[in-house]
Amino acid sequence: MAFHSGFVCILGLPNAGKSTLLNALVGEKLAIISPKPQTTRNRILGVINSGGGKRKPKGQVILIDTPGVHTPDSSLGRKMMSEVRDALEGSHLILLIVDVAARHNPVDPLVLDVVTKAKTPAFLLLNKIDLLRGNKEKLLPLMERFREAHSFRQTIPISARKREGLDLLLGKIIEALPEGPHYFDSDQLTDQPLRFMVAEAIREQIMFATSEELPYTTSVVVEEFKEEPRLTRIAAVIYCEREGQKRILVGKGGSMLKKIGTAARLQIEKMVDTKVYLELFVKVVPNWRDSGHFVDELDWRSQLNRLAGKGS
Ligand code: GDP
Ligand code: MG
């Protein structure tokens, strides 16, 4: 049987469940997840190898999770939207994922505009059907409105969190992809460097432990990453924008930083398979989200480019 492969871009509003879908399909936690919008800031690549079998076609799917489509109001926001455009470029298929239980209108003109302009075949994924509790007829008017807005190749109800409908989805994705090569070795699941995944694990705990603007005004950079036989020593800096935010992040007697550090360390230990010694520092960089230079420094892809002497 022919081998199908290609790049598949997951697209949608903030909080639709894009990162949850990536992790569920790949079967590994590659992207951090939170109930707060704008958790994902970079495009994240995950590789699925489908072994085939009697009915399933054989193939390799390269999924790309993206930041939520939104109208940017800072350098960070513009960078996030440029990650969305980079992910779309050269992709063979778009998965537009919508939250069927959302209070906002899921038929969003901004997202539909991105899909239409991309001129790439698209599937519509109606996510979070577990929240409808059997009232699946509620989906019909929604499907009708999407049908009027765009011609989707497939419309598939799923629950990314409960892993419902995902086998069917994967089969349809592979069918829709062209015949192609193995783009990645079958043991490679992502292109993300471990250091970046560590920084993301810390940021995820900040998103859980803090409220109001703090989840959006912090970023994390791993400054030291030393692998010893039984211990990994990591030092990371949490950047925020104001002294008041730093006080909250540190907490009374360092209590908040300790809480974030302990939770992050447990996650990181699962990733590196050794004990972890994690040191966290908090630094203030006023309005870093509006600094194009600082935002670019955070991006591991541009960091790698600079190291390779390609400039940015
Ligand atoms: P993203 O911003 O589109 O990447 O969304 P996330 O994957 O970070 O998910 C946003 C929130 O929706 C998280 O709290 C997820 O646990 C939740 N979520 C994602 N998929 C589902 C689903 O199928 N069912 C339910 N009930 N919640 C989901
Ligand atoms: Mg996400």
For 223-246, the pLDDT digits (tens) are: 999 999 999 999 999 999 999 999
Q: What is the pLDDT of residue 51?
A: 80
**Could you tell me the two tokens for 178?**
């062209």
Q: Specify the domain boundaries for CATH 3.40.50.300 within the chain.
A: 3-176
| Distance from the alpha carbon of residue 257 to the mean position of ligand 1, in angstroms | 26
Cα of 150 vs centre of ligand 1, distance in Å, is 24
pLDDT of residue 221 exceeding 50, the answer is: yes
| 15 against 310, higher pLDDT | 15
205 lines ligand 1 (CB under 6 A): no
How far does residue 103's CA lie from ligand 2's centre (Å)?
18
For the chain, percent of residues with pLDDT exceeding 90: 87
Q: Determine the 3-state secondary structure of 81 from DSSP.
A: helix
Quote the pLDDT of residue 310. 62
- Of the listed ligands, the closest to the CA of 34 is 1
The one-letter code for the residue type at 14 is: P
What strands, in cross-sheet order, belong to the sheet with 93-99? Answer: 44-50, 59-65, 4-11, 93-99, 122-127, 154-157
The SS3 call for residue 231 is: strand
Query: pLDDT at position 303, please?
Result: 85
For 68, other C-beta atoms within 10 Å of its C-beta total 20
Domain with CATH 3.30.300.20 in the chain: 194-311
pLDDT of residue 54: 66
pLDDT in tens, 5-29: 999 999 999 999 999 999 999 999 9
For the segment 150-183, what is each residue's pLDDT rounded down to a tens digit? 999 999 999 999 999 999 999 999 999 999 999 9
CB 12 within 8 A of CB 98: yes
**Closest ligand 1 atom to 127 CA:** 23
- Categorize the per-residue pLDDT at 219 as very low, low, confident or very high, splitting at 50, 70 and 90: very high
- Regarding beta strands 93-99 and 4-11, do their DSSP bridges make them parallel or antiparallel, or are they unpaired? parallel
Closest protein CA for atom 18 of ligand 1: 17
Q: If you take atom 26 of ligand 1, which residue's CA is the nearest one?
A: 128
| Residue from 144, 140, 150, 147 nearest 114 by CA | 150
DSSP, collapsed to helix, strand or coil, labels residue 309 as coil
188 vs 209: CA distance, rounded Å: 32
Lowest mean pLDDT among 55-59, 80-84, 224-228: 55-59
In this prediction, residue 112 carries a pLDDT of 96
CATH superfamily of 3-176: P-loop containing nucleotide triphosphate hydrolases (3.40.50.300)
* Closest-lying ligand 1 atom to the alpha carbon of residue 20: 7
- At residue 55, the pLDDT reads 63
Is the confidence at residue 255, as pLDDT, over 60? yes
Return the CATH fold of 194-311: GMP Synthetase; Chain A, domain 3 (3.30.300)
CA distance 97 to 156: 10
Question: Which residue lies with its CA nearest to atom 6 of ligand 1?
Answer: 17
* Across 257-263, average pLDDT: 98
| Spacing, Cα 37 to ligand 2 middle (Å) | 8
At 311, is the pLDDT very low, low, confident or very high (cuts 50, 70, 90)?
A: low
Q: Half-sphere exposure of 290 toward its Cβ, with a 13 Å CA cutoff?
A: 4
Q: How confident is the model at residue 81 (pLDDT cuts 50, 70, 90)?
A: very high
Question: Are β-strands 44-50 and 275-284 bridged in parallel, bridged antiparallel, or unpaired?
Answer: unpaired
**pLDDT tens per residue across span 283-307:** 999 999 999 999 999 999 988 888 8
Residue 58 is which amino acid?
K
CB of 19 within 6 A of ligand 1: the answer is yes
Q: Which three-class secondary structure state does DSSP give residue 102?
A: coil
Q: Which helix (H) or strand (E) holds 262?
A: helix 255-272
pLDDT at 312: 47
Ligand 1 atom showing the smallest separation from residue 131 Cα: 26
The residue length of the chain stands at 312
Question: Closest ligand to 44 CA?
Answer: 2
Distance 189 CA to ligand 2 centre (A): 17
Q: Whose CA is nearest to atom 10 of ligand 1?
A: 15
Q: How far is the CA of 255 from the centre of ligand 1 (A)?
A: 29
Q: Which of 13, 15, 126, 164 to mutate to test the pocket of ligand 1 (most atoms within 8 A of CB)?
A: 15
What distance in Å separates the CA atoms of residue 127 and residue 121, rounded to the nearest whole number? 19
Q: Which ligand is located closest to the Cα atom of residue 161? A: 1
> Does ligand 1 come within 6 angstroms of the Cβ of 36?
no
Tokens of 79: 């960078």
Average pLDDT over all residues of the chain: 94
pLDDT in tens, 101-146: 998 888 999 999 999 999 999 999 999 999 998 788 889 999 999 9
Q: How far is ligand 1, taken at its centre, from the CA of residue 175, in Å?
A: 26
Taking residues 179-206, report their average pLDDT.
Answer: 95
